[in-house]
Amino acid sequence: MAGRSASLLRPALLAPFAALCLGGAAAAATVGGTQGSTTSTTRPPAAATLEECLTSAEQSERSATFQGEMTTIPGSAKMEMRVDVLERTPRELAFRNIAAPGLGAWRAAAPGVKVYKYLKQVTNLAAPAAYRAAIRFRWLNAKGKLIKALELRTPKCVQPLHPRPQPPSEGTTTTSA
C-alpha cells in the first residue's frame, strides 16, 4: 500500500452506509475508546466502536463496520460527526489515513436529535493490513460556534493474508474425501 495514490486505492472500498438518528433515549452505548474520566452515572458524550470485522480469503468479502455515537451536551444546538478510515500494513509503523469517496465528510444530525448514531462500512479491504476508524465529533451552539470537539479511535480490524477457516456452525455436517 505504501506509495499508492489515493485515487488508486480500491474503487469499491465503500459500501452503502447508514446513519441512524434517534430522537429518544438510545440503548446503552458501547464505549470503544472514550477520553476523560466518567462515573457510573455519567454517560460520555461520544463513543467510537468497531461493530463488525469480517475476514475472508476473498478480498471482495472483507469488510469492517465502524460506529460513532454522540449525545447532546448543554448549550449544543447542532451535532456533527466525521469518519476517517486508517490503514496499517505490516511494512508501516503507524496507521495512515486512506482517501476514498464518502470518507472524511462531516455528517450532521437532524435538528432536535438527542442521540446521533452513524454507521460506516468499508469493504474490499486489502490483506494483510489492519484498519481502524478515527471518528471526530463536534458540538455547535445555535450561532454555529464550536463549543466542544473530540476525536476517538476504534479498536482495529485485522485482515490477515490467510484467514483461519471458520469452524462449522452447529448443525452443519462436514465430510472428508
Query: How far from each other are the two terminal CA atoms of the chain, in whole angstroms?
Result: 39
> Which pLDDT score, from 0 to 100, does residue 54 have?
97
Helix, coil or strand: residue 108: strand
Q: Look at residues 157, 67, 167, 79 and name the one whose alpha carbon lies nearest to residue 117.
A: 67
CATH number of 11-25+44-159: 2.60.40
Torsion of CA 119, 125, 128, 134, to 10 degrees: -30
> Which pLDDT score, from 0 to 100, does residue 126 have?
95
Helix, coil or strand: residue 26: coil
> Which pLDDT score, from 0 to 100, does residue 114 have?
96
Within 13 Å of residue 136, how many CA atoms lie on the same side as its CB? 13
The span from the CA of 119 to the CA of 38, in Å, is 24
> Which pLDDT score, from 0 to 100, does residue 162 have?
83
> Which pLDDT score, from 0 to 100, does residue 167 have?
59
**pLDDT 10s digit of each residue in the chain, 177 long?**
333 323 223 433 443 333 333 333 333 333 333 344 444 467 789 999 999 999 999 999 999 999 999 999 999 999 999 999 999 999 999 999 998 778 999 999 999 999 999 999 999 999 999 999 999 999 999 999 999 999 999 999 999 998 776 555 454 433 333
Residue extents of the structural domains in the chain: 11-25+44-159
Residue 174 is placed in which grid cell?
Answer: 462436514
The span from the CA of 67 to the CA of 119, in Å, is 5
